[in-house]
Amino acid sequence: MTPAPPLSTPQSDLIPATLKHPRALHFWLAVLLTGIATGIGAAILTKLLEVVQHLVWRGSPTNILEAAQAAGPWRHILVLLGAALVTGLGQLLLKHLSSGNGIDTTAAIWFHAGRMPALRTLGSAVLSVVIVGMGVSLGREGAPKQAGAVFANFFSDKERLSDEQRRLLVACGAGAGMGAAYGVPLGGALFALEVMRGKLALRYVLPALFASLIATGVSWFALPDAPTYIIPSYVSSASLILWTLLAGPIAGLASVGYVRMVNWADRHRPQGWARLTAPLIVMGVLGAVSIWFPQVLGNGKDVSELAFTSQVAPALMLILLVLKPAATALCMRSGAPGGMFTPSLTFGAMLGGVLGFAWSHVWPGVPAGLFALLGAGAVVGATTQGPISAVVLMMELTGRDRSFILPLLLVVGIATLVARTIEPRSIYDARLTDEEIKERQRLRDLPAT
């Protein structure tokens, strides 16, 4: 049971638990408007990504892997160099849109009461969608997540919400962006609470749930209401349960390395005119590598689905286990904005697939795709440090709610425990200093209000 807030906190500043709460209607109106605006924003950004992808790759607007495989070598080089120019010029332009540096969504929630520069944040969201559509190895969920946070901030101002209410609403907006982008309303709500806000207090649940389900429902007017990954119905087994006990710690350790790599990349983003030269070097190399390994392009969704359905050769998974996270880290290091959710999921899928291939020589019989699926869930849980949201996200992304739930819970729990024991950061904490990490942990331990 959540302890009562300090008596010095005005009732009107607390998160409304009922409609009888002072100014409750203002808060719930802000939740409603945030959900609607985020759903519209997520649909627009997703369609923009598809248009860009179709225009530059001359292929499927929703499958960059197929389009890249059909493209000639020179298109790989020219498109990625174009992405580098867009990245560099976009970063220089964003630098002049507002004074000072941009504020990361996580830092805004924890240390700035959810306040962030709207124009610069939305500009970064649009830029990330464009370059991911061109093949930059980052996630597309970063854009709707940023947009949702900006909309929440805007409606918090309009309804004159308290700082605590604003923090929660901005986290809900970010989660709603995730929910709308991937059609995962419950996963988006849990992501908002567990990962972005860092608390699962009862009075926080309904705002997160309503914001995410409204955003997702609105986005379905333009986006497909269907699972992101189409997979068969898998069955658990004794072999699989034993594998999860061994693979969970490995996934946790691998996630620590991944998070630290992301932290390094973010802390060493280029400054000054290096914002132009660094993307040209990194993305020129990425374009050349993608001629032979087009799977490194984009957020990794397409190759993950192939892995989940046992359609990726073990040797290729081993190569991508190195190439894909390296491409993601270097793109971030070059200054490119973008999300980290799907790249992390893809890294986990490759890791699970490789570990599963080795296990099959000891105890055969488990489908290769199931290993990849569980590896993806384990790494998502460990890198976000949100095990509950990771499990629900994997179920909603695949449309399967029971066929692999027991081994998924086990491997995600073990991986997250190992990662959290070693590394307090998640992939969304990369910009926080060591002092800010400690302060965030202290704030997490305070009673929810």
What is the DSSP code string of 242-255? HHHHHHHHHHHHHH
Phi, psi of 117 (to 5 degrees): -70, 115
What's the structural domain count of the chain?
Answer: 2
**Same domain, residue pair 424 and 318:** yes
Mean pLDDT of 92-98: 79
pLDDT in tens, 192-231: 999 999 888 889 999 999 999 999 999 999 999 999 999 9
- Quick count: other Cβ atoms within 10 Å of Cβ 394? 26
Q: Are residues 111 and 243 in the same domain?
A: no
Residues 307-334 have pLDDT tens digits of 999 999 999 999 999 999 999 999 999 9
Work out the pLDDT band at 3, boundaries 50, 70, 90.
Answer: very low
Distance of alpha carbon 148 from alpha carbon 157, whole angstroms:
14
Q: Are residues 58 and 201 in the same domain?
A: yes
85 part of a folded domain: yes
Residue 98, pLDDT above cutoff 70: no
The three state secondary structure string of 32-55 is: HHHHHHHHHHHHHHHHHHHHHHHH
131 lies in some domain:
yes
In terms of Cβ atoms closer than 10 Å to its own Cβ (0-12, 13-18, 19+), residue 429 is buried
Which pLDDT band holds residue 99 (cuts at 50, 70, 90)? Answer: low
- Where are the alpha helices (H) located in 192-237, listed in sequence order? 202-219
Query: Within this chain, do residues 316 and 184 fall inside the same structural domain, yes or no?
Result: no
**pLDDT score for 10:** 65
State how far the Cα of 34 lies from the Cα of 118, in Å rounded to an integer.
Answer: 14
Provide the CATH number for the domain around residue 327.
1.10.3080.10
Place 104 in a pLDDT band, splitting at 50, 70 and 90: confident
Which of 154, 184, 219 is the endpoint of a domain? 219
pLDDT at 435: 87
Give me the phi and psi of 147, to 5 degrees please: -60, -45
Using a 10 angstrom Cβ sphere, with 0-12 exposed, 13-18 middle and 19 or more buried, the burial of residue 254 is: buried
Lowest model confidence (mean pLDDT) among 13-17, 276-280, 441-445: 441-445
Is the domain of 213 the same as that of 301?
A: no
Where residue 102 falls among pLDDT bands split at 50, 70, 90? low
In a domain, 231, yes or no: no
Alpha-carbon distance of 278 to 61, in angstroms, equals 28
* Residue 153: Cβ within 10 Å count: 25
Residues 53 and 298: their CA atoms lie apart, in Å, by 10
10, part of any domain:
no
Q: Determine the pLDDT at residue 101.
A: 53
Within a domain: residue 13?
A: no
Structure confidence at residue 5 (pLDDT) = 44
What is the share, in percent, of the chain residues with pLDDT greater than 70?
95
- Domain hosting residue 74, numbered range: 19-219
Residue 393: is its pLDDT beyond 60?
A: yes
Which pLDDT value is given to residue 49? 97
- Are 289 and 202 in a shared domain? no
Give the pLDDT confidence of 7-34 residue by residue, as tens digits: 455 666 789 888 888 889 999 999 999 9
pLDDT of residue 1: 37
Residues 101 and 131 in one domain: yes
Least confident segment among 11-15, 53-57, 349-353, 402-406: 11-15
Residue 232 lies inside a defined structural domain of this protein: no
In this structure, is residue 230 part of a structural domain? no
Residue 387 scores a pLDDT above 90: yes
Sign of CA dihedral 336, 337, 342, 343: positive
Task: Decide if pLDDT at 444 tops 80.
Answer: no
Average pLDDT, the chain: 92
Single-letter amino acid, residue 124: S
How would residue 145 be classed by pLDDT, with cut points 50, 70 and 90?
very high
For residue 136, is it within any domain? yes
Mean pLDDT is highest, among 33-42, 110-119, 396-405, for 33-42
Question: What's the confidence (pLDDT) of residue 199?
Answer: 85
Q: Do 155 and 119 fall within a single domain?
A: yes
- DSSP per position, 121-179: HHHHHHHHHHHHHHT-SSBSTHHHHHHHHHHHHHHHHHTT--HHHHHHHHHHHHHHHHH
Residue ending a domain, choose from 154, 185, 219:
219
Q: Do 393 and 282 reside in the same domain of the chain?
A: yes
Q: Please state the length of the chain.
A: 449
pTM (predicted TM-score): 0.94
Nearest to 375 by CA among 232, 238, 254, 195: 254
Segment 52-89, tens digit of pLDDT: 999 999 988 889 999 999 999 999 999 999 999 999 99
Long-range contacts, 441-448 (Cβ 8 Å, 24+)? 443/110, 443/198, 444/198, 444/199, 447/2, 447/3, 447/4, 447/5, 448/2, 448/15, 448/199, 448/201, 448/203, 448/204
Are 140 and 247 part of one and the same domain?
no
Query: Within this chain, do residues 304 and 430 fall inside the same structural domain, yes or no?
Result: yes
High-pLDDT (> 90) share of the chain, %: 79
C-alpha separations of 320 from 87, 257, 353, 361 in Å: 24, 16, 11, 21
The residue-averaged pLDDT of 387-416 equals 94
Do residues 414 and 270 share a domain?
Answer: yes
Domain final residue, candidates 219, 250, 279: 219
Cα(169)–Cα(171) distance, integer angstroms: 5
- Give residues with Cβ within 8 angstroms of 360, minimum separation 6: 366, 368
